[in-house]
Amino acid sequence: MPIDHTFRPLWNVPSREYLKRGLKNLHLLQPDEEIGCFLAIQRANELHESVQLNPQHLKASWQENIDFLNEEQISEAPLACYPIYLITVGDETDEKLVYIGKTSSSVNRFKSGHKAISLLHHPKYNGLTKRLYQCSVIFIKGSTHLPIELVQPYDFADELLSSFEANLIYWNQPELNYQSKKVEPDFKFGQVHVQNISGVTDFWQDEFI
């Protein structure tokens, strides 16, 4: 079961010390291959509420954690990043995934328009509950849980997030995604164990992808 990173990955001293050590030895901040990883569904939002969500951006979160260490932790640790999101329609056993995406902007992309959300205006989706789930991504290094915003260097973390997203899309084939559906991606980190800790629904709870 993944550590709950709902709030702050560097909230405790052991996590801070591990990141300090890793910045001197980047191998410690690069996840092990083929032993699995986690997608933690942290927050469930009604889709119409998405325009009010704070922007999530891996690069900004990655830098905030580095800056936090450099400031000798005199402020509160940065909030966790939710770089993967899921859009679903329906409820309970009829809830269906229709889109998987990754956030890549320092602004709220849902506020300025989103193609998948526009497509949900099709009459076939009328009357269905529509949700947007915000998710954190956690890998494993030895016995340590490694949130993606702590992976080093940044370019590697960014590539890792893209391959993670492509892997989810390929194996789930959401109907509103158009890329990453035909060719299996080169994802080297084993099965993705999903934990839904949103407290709102049980969608994808304890699934393996």
**Lowest-confidence range among 30-39, 45-54, 137-146, 156-165?**
45-54
Residue 24 domain-assigned? no
Residue 2 domain-assigned? no
Residue 112: pLDDT above 60? no
Residue 106: pLDDT above 60? no
**Strand residue runs (E) in the chain:** 37-46, 84-89, 96-102, 130-141, 144-147, 192-196, 207-208
Burial of 19 (0-12, 13-18, 19+ CB in 10 A): buried
Residue 165 domain-assigned? yes
Residue 110: pLDDT above 80? no
Structure confidence at residue 73 as a pLDDT band (50, 70, 90): low
pLDDT at 108: 47
**Which residue range(s) make up the domain with 186?**
32-56+81-208
For 50, residues 6+ apart whose C-beta sits below 8 A from its C-beta are 108, 110, 114, 117, 132
Helix 13-24 / helix 58-70 crossing angle, nearest 10 deg: 100
pLDDT, tens digit, for every residue of 149-200?
A: 999 999 999 999 999 999 999 999 999 999 999 999 999 999 999 999 999 9
User: Average pLDDT of 74-83?
Assistant: 86
Cβ of 124: how many Cβ atoms within 10 Å?
Answer: 8
**For 37, phi and psi rounded to 5 degrees?**
-155, 180
pTM of the model: 0.90
Structure confidence at residue 202 as a pLDDT band (50, 70, 90): very high
- Average pLDDT over the chain, rounded to whole? 89
Residue 90 domain-assigned? yes
Residue 41 domain-assigned? yes
Domain count, the chain: 1
Residue 153 domain-assigned? yes
Give, as one character, the DSSP assignment of residue 192. Answer: E
Residue 150 domain-assigned? yes
pLDDT at 91: 94
Reduced to 3 states (helix: H, G, I; strand: E, B; else coil), residue 160 is helix
Residue 77 CA to residue 177 CA, distance in Å, equals 35
pLDDT, tens digit, for every residue of 119-156?
A: 998 999 999 999 999 999 999 999 999 999 999 999 99
Residue 51 domain-assigned? yes
